[in-house]
């Protein structure tokens, strides 16, 4: 009954007109929406409306949640769901937004086995208990065109998609059973290459944070796929193809080729 009711409500919400004021905010803060096809833009707008009804936004450290904040975050989160029948992040209840980087208390074990607590600087995290935490400063940069190849929102929501298939292991639910073999082979290969390069200090064109676990590899590859699709398809064509099948879209159609010749900077993520 709960599922049927939710589907009925989603259909009603999706039929609503997207407020013109929201469209203006998105055109400014998430300009790629203007380069989507009409059908894709309409789908994204209706997913955003469902997202607003089903998820709660909470400001942390006195941060005020405005329409711009909600729209920039929801647009990036819902972009991952385009062309998928299911989704809308069923396990997610709330998005907690800090104004910028924040400190998270972490328990670490030192070299002689003692556990102590330290503060770690973070831009975002996917918690248990149905919450995603992001820094607005990083979320805003990820939504804009002049980006550095990163999006904390895409990163954390990729973790959610991964977790929906059970566990954080870089193996989300793929649309077809026949896709698992090549997904597993190609992502394993690319992960091993990034680990080797990161360990030996060789230059890398994927965030070396992805070398810490298969789950982080999937999350940083998702960021590159959407934020720097031209570079990823050129330098990692097999990985690009797997992600294009999984996400059922090709971001090269709506992202400009990167104009930056500066070496990428990799911010802290979690």
For binding to Zn ion (CB under 5 A), which residues are involved? 216, 219
Return the number of the residue (157 or 254) whose C-beta is nearest Zn ion.
Answer: 157
The distance of closest approach from Cβ of residue 40 to Zn ion in the complex, given in angstroms and rounded to an integer, is: 27
The distance of closest approach from Cβ of residue 226 to Zn ion in the complex, given in angstroms and rounded to an integer, is: 15
Return the number of the residue (259 or 265) whose C-beta is nearest Zn ion.
Answer: 265
- For residue 137, the tally of other CB atoms under 10 A from its CB is 14
The distance of closest approach from Cβ of residue 46 to Zn ion in the complex, given in angstroms and rounded to an integer, is: 28
Return the number of the residue (41 or 150) whose C-beta is nearest Zn ion.
Answer: 150
Q: Please tell me the distance from the alpha carbon of residue 253 to that of residue 83, in angstroms, as a whole number.
A: 15
Return the number of the residue (75 or 219) whose C-beta is nearest Zn ion.
Answer: 219
Return the number of the residue (73 or 219) whose C-beta is nearest Zn ion.
Answer: 219
Interstrand relation of 102-109 and 124-126 (parallel, antiparallel or unpaired): unpaired
The distance of closest approach from Cβ of residue 186 to Zn ion in the complex, given in angstroms and rounded to an integer, is: 20
Return the number of the residue (89 or 254) whose C-beta is nearest Zn ion.
Answer: 89
Return the number of the residue (71 or 161) whose C-beta is nearest Zn ion.
Answer: 161
Question: In this chain, which residue has its C-beta nearest to Zn ion?
Answer: 219
* CA-CA-CA-CA torsion sign (114, 119, 124, 129): positive
Q: Please tell me the distance from the alpha carbon of residue 150 to that of residue 136, in angstroms, as a whole number.
A: 13
| Residues paired with 94 in a beta bridge | 56, 131
The distance of closest approach from Cβ of residue 80 to Zn ion in the complex, given in angstroms and rounded to an integer, is: 14
Contact indicator for 229, 256 with CB cutoff of 8 Å: no
Q: Please tell me the distance from the alpha carbon of residue 205 to that of residue 69, in angstroms, as a whole number.
A: 29
The distance of closest approach from Cβ of residue 181 to Zn ion in the complex, given in angstroms and rounded to an integer, is: 25
The distance of closest approach from Cβ of residue 19 to Zn ion in the complex, given in angstroms and rounded to an integer, is: 33
């Amino acid at each position: 009954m709960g599922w049927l009711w939710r589907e009925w409500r989603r259909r009603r919400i999706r039929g609503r007109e997207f407020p013109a004021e929201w469209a203006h905010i998105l055109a400014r803060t998430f300009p790629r929406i203007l380069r989507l096809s009409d059908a894709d833009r309409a789908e994204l707008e209706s997913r955003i409306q469902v997202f607003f009804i089903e998820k709660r936004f909470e400001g942390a450290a006195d941060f005020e949640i405005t329409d711009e904040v909600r729209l920039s975050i929801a647009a990036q989160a819902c972009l991952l769901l385009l062309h998928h029948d299911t989704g809308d992040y069923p396990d997610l209840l709330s998005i907690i937004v800090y104004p910028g980087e924040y400190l998270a208390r972490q328990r670490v074990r030192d070299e002689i086995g003692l556990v102590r607590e330290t503060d770690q600087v973070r831009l975002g995290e996917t918690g248990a208990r149905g919450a995603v935490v992001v820094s607005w400063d990083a979320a805003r940069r990820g939504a804009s065109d002049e980006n550095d190849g990163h999006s904390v929102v895409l990163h954390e929501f990729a973790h959610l998609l991964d977790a929906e298939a059970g566990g954080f292991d870089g193996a989300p639910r793929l649309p077809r059973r026949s896709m698992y073999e090549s997904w597993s082979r190609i992502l394993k290969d690319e992960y091993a290459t990034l680990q080797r390069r990161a360990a030996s200090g060789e230059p890398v064109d994927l965030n070396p944070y992805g070398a810490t676990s298969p789950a982080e590899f999937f999350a940083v590859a998702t960021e590159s796929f959407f934020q720097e699709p031209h570079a990823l398809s050129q330098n990692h064509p097999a990985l690009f193809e797997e992600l294009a099948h999984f996400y059922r879209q090709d971001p090269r159609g709506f992202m400009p080729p990167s104009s930056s010749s500066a070496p990428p900077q990799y911010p802290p993520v979690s």
